[in-house]
Amino acid sequence: MAIIEIKVPDIGDFAEVAVIELLVKPGDTIRAEQSLMTVESDKASMEIPSSHAGVVKELKVALGDKVKEGSLVLLLEVADEAAAVDAFSVAPAVAIAAAAPTPATVRPEPVEGLAPATLATAAAALATPAHNPMATLAQGLPHASPSVRKFARELGVPLNEVKGSGLKGRITDHDVQSFTRSVMTGAVQTLAAQAQVKSAGAAGGNDGAGLGLIPWPKVDFAKFGPIERKELSRIKKISGANLLRNAIMIPAVTNHDDCDITDLEAFRVATNKENEKSGVKVTMLAFLIKACVAALKKYPEFNSSLDGDALIYKQYFHIGFAADTPNGLMVPVIKDADQKGIFQISQEMGELAKKARDGKLSPAEMTGASFTISSLGGIGGRYFTPIINAPEVAILGVCRSTIEPVWDGKAFQPRLMLPLSLTWDHRVIDGAAAARFNVYLGQILGDFRRVLL
């Protein structure tokens, strides 16, 4: 064993540089070429590597010290034979040089709060075919040490999109981790991902190239028979881009269930008969809106939105409903549905649905929903898998009710059964919660008195 001095190697044109980060401490076992500290001039930052492997005995520099070529950095205990190696043989890693795109062959070191497997997943989530680290850097060098740059590069994090929390806006390891988490939770999208969604959306989803998929087949349909080409409506183009983003970005799952609405339907028909002259027709959807409000109150995460690592719980109950219009799908919103009765909801729904069909909905009438229902009950079908209307976290799909034989313990009874399809965001909601939501919703629709309990 021998003690050797590790000194600052040749650092090029820099006369004196400040020590801004110490990366090792006494007692650490280090590898040859491992970074010991970060120094910074007014032009660039660089990491000073160790020329030898060994155990750090004593640090000879402190934060803020000015050092230059030959300055003593630390005393290192090394194996005797290692002491013979030239202590100046390792070059420092300069931030600008480190910025060049290199394949991410080095596995990231485990860091607090993120396991290596998570980091690998994060790298996959962040790495997009459209992301070119060189392009990022060409836009200007963000303030970060070479080790942070390397860490970001390994994860595919575009550093110029990361907000630095360190001194003078310096980007730290922690900032890179936070950015990665935000991307993974969907709270933040990299500019490259936004561009992909935009271009895929603009192409009506007909271009999978931006997502690394094989190209959409280009077929000359006229070769096979007569055709007519019609442009998509403006609404279809806008909703298409939104639907595509939501379908791709949300880990969505759909639970299907049936609920017994025999008594509720009898009540609805009787109510409409009694109020024939009012001009307001009550449909099943109005009851569904009220029942959903009760279920949202019982399971508030269904009435929330993701915001980074946090959930925003809404204390209002604005329920959107999908309306089929000649120009495409629109989603008007019944505001404060918890404070309205079935008649008022039915009346507002009728007015909003008419406005939607006439293309007269105002932006205020289409925004602010905290949960959405898509009812195909008037048309038909059994179940479907509705797409969540982001940033909401769940949507209820409803199909046409039919008379089914239901076993009551002694015999089959003809009951009117309503098929429900609840799609939910698995980042926020678990399968068990979704099943409970559907069961509770079914219980309310089965007997509305439960709302009072």
Which residues are the active-site residues?
A: 426
Q: How many CB atoms lie within 10 A of CB 361?
A: 20
Positions 373 through 392 that interact with ligand CAO (CB under 6 A): 374-378, 386
Distance, in Å, from the CA atom of 194 to the CA atom of 221, rounded to the nearest integer, reads: 32
The secondary structure element, H or E, covering residue 390 is none
Nearest residue (CB) to ligand CAO, 45 versus 246: 246
Among 55, 120, 329, 406, binds ligand CAO (CB under 6 A): 329
Q: Select the span of 176-184, 201-209, 250-258, 368-376 touching ligand CAO (CB under 6 A).
A: 368-376
- Please tell me the count of residues contacting ligand CAO according to CB under 6 A: 19
Instruction: Tell me the closest approach of the beta carbon of residue 251 to ligand CAO, in angstroms.
Output: 19
Positions 268 through 307 that interact with ligand CAO (CB under 6 A): 283-285
Instruction: Tell me the closest approach of the beta carbon of residue 273 to ligand CAO, in angstroms.
Output: 12
Calculate helix-pair angle for 262-274, 431-446, nearest 10 degrees.
50
Positions 28 through 87 that interact with ligand CAO (CB under 6 A): none
Nearest residue (CB) to ligand CAO, 250 versus 284: 284
Q: Select the span of 51-59, 106-114, 176-184, 394-402 touching ligand CAO (CB under 6 A).
A: 394-402
Contact 55, 8 (CB under 8 A): no
Tokens 């931006």 appear where?
A: 210
Nearest residue (CB) to ligand CAO, 94 versus 323: 323
Distance, in Å, from the CA atom of 101 to the CA atom of 135, rounded to the nearest integer, reads: 10
Instruction: Tell me the closest approach of the beta carbon of residue 319 to ligand CAO, in angstroms.
Output: 12
Nearest residue (CB) to ligand CAO, 176 versus 353: 353
Distance, in Å, from the CA atom of 445 to the CA atom of 262, rounded to the nearest integer, reads: 9
CA atoms within a 13 Å half-sphere pointing along the CA-CB vector of 336: 3
Q: Whose CB is nearest to ligand CAO?
A: 377
Question: Per the omega criterion (within 30 degrees of 0), is the bond before 391 cis?
Answer: yes
The amino acid occupying position 337 is A
Nearest residue (CB) to ligand CAO, 120 versus 247: 247
Distance, in Å, from the CA atom of 249 to the CA atom of 425, rounded to the nearest integer, reads: 10
Contact status: 321 vs ligand CAO (CB under 6 A): yes
Q: Which of 390, 434, 178, 212 is nearest to 302 (CA)?
A: 434
Residues of this chain that bind ligand CAO (CB under 6 A): 283-285, 321-324, 329, 353, 374-378, 386, 398, 400-401, 418
